[in-house]
Structure 1
Amino acid sequence: MMRYFWTLFWAFLLTQMLTYVVSSMLGIAYKFETGLLLAIVFTVFVAIITAVIPNEPKESH
């Protein structure tokens, strides 16, 4: 549970920073909601990827 919290925490911080920088470079208004949505999507994506990837080491042939 804590790994999902920290994933969301860092995704939130990094996407807010990314959203701010990109919106400044494009000359458009900064929107908090855009960064929040991206953070949630990224966290769900990471959770799905970690569930799909096997955790056991592969046997050598």
Structure 2
Amino acid sequence: MQYIMTFVWAFILVHMINFVLMSLGGGQDLNLVTASIMSVVFAVLALIITALIPDDPIPTHHHH
């Protein structure tokens, strides 16, 4: 479920960014294929980064 939601959120966020940037750009058309490809790339990079970050708690040294 984590992977599916990562792709859903990446799809939504990249398409929102694409819409805003194309609206600000003026005469450019909205390209949904490029945004979809970029959302897949963004989701894969997010999943790779989360796999590389360790989940172990940081040990604390107590000095008495």
TM-score (norm 2): 0.86
In the other structure, the counterpart of 1:13 is 12
Q: Would you identify which runs of 4 or more consecutive aligned residues in structure 1 move more than 4 Å?
A: none
Q: Distance in 1 between matches of 2:17 and 2:34?
A: 10
Q: Distance in 2 between matches of 1:17 and 1:51?
A: 26
What is the percent sequence identity of the aligned residues? 38
Cα RMSD (Å) of the superposition? Answer: 0.9
Structure 1: unaligned runs, 5 residues or longer: none
The residue type paired with residue 6 of structure 2 is T
Q: Distance in 2 between matches of 1:13 and 1:54?
A: 27
In the other structure, the counterpart of 2:51 is 51
The residue type paired with residue 36 of structure 2 is L
Instruction: Using the TM superposition, give the Cα deviation of residue 35 of structure 1 relative to its aligned residue in structure 2, in angstroms.
Output: 1.2
Q: Distance in 2 between matches of 1:47 and 1:22?
A: 25
